[in-house]
Amino acid sequence: MILRIVKGEYLKSLDNIIQWQEMDVFNHESVSQHSYKVAIFCRVLMEDLFKNVKPSEEVLAFKLAVVDAALLHDWDEIFIRRDISHETKYNDFNGTQIRDVLNEYVEHMVKNEFDTKEPFKSDEAGKFLYNSICRPLPIVKQVVKIGDWLALMYYIHREISLGNVSLKRNWTICVDGLVQAVIMLEDSLLKHSVWGWNKDINFKVLEDLKLWKECK
């Protein structure tokens, strides 16, 4: 599988797919660049969240699952062939249907691409790619969503600091999205008391994220 990834078009596609193509921006950002930031933010967030939690195999496995999902969270765009704007995917008219159809299509393509049709014929690497792209745990997706919003906000903050006022509306959208993502993760962490994490989780870092509203 590693040679298939190295020789394949996957990473080239992520380098060539540019985000914010529908917007006037100074600096264009590829999906590869965006995904790297998401992974970094998620990895550091994991250390902040679990700094008071006793290390265990379960905690380490969770951190690894988050990093895996963060690195691969936009691999769906390899098969869709482009980045689709937030306004399209989350529009009030049929955003839910659009996301459902895209997810169904991507899962179909990933299964075919990595030979993971049930019963699984692929090796462990193929299963890993399928599960990380299409089947991450809901709580893992929630952490990655926070990293995703932070990466978008990082980009917008940079653009606005350079004088691009056209993205100010997008900043507000990202602030609202980040707050909702944090609230959802807080709720999930509290409900996972069976892990024994909730009493030691550093929830302050999540509260601090919810307070980041100004773009200076």
Tens of pLDDT, residue by residue over 87-97, are 898 899 999 99
> Helix, strand or coil for residue 193?
helix
Tens of pLDDT, residue by residue over 162-215, are 999 999 999 999 999 999 999 999 999 888 754 666 678 999 999 999 999 887
Tokens of 211: 């307070």
Contact 73, 145 (CB under 8 A): no
Alpha carbon distance 156, 150 (integer Å): 10
Tokens of 198: 């909730």
| The model's pTM | 0.92
Alpha carbon distance 43, 78 (integer Å): 23
Work out whether the CA dihedral 159, 161, 165, 167 comes out positive or negative. positive
Tens of pLDDT, residue by residue over 22-64, are 889 999 999 999 999 999 999 999 999 999 988 888 889 999 9
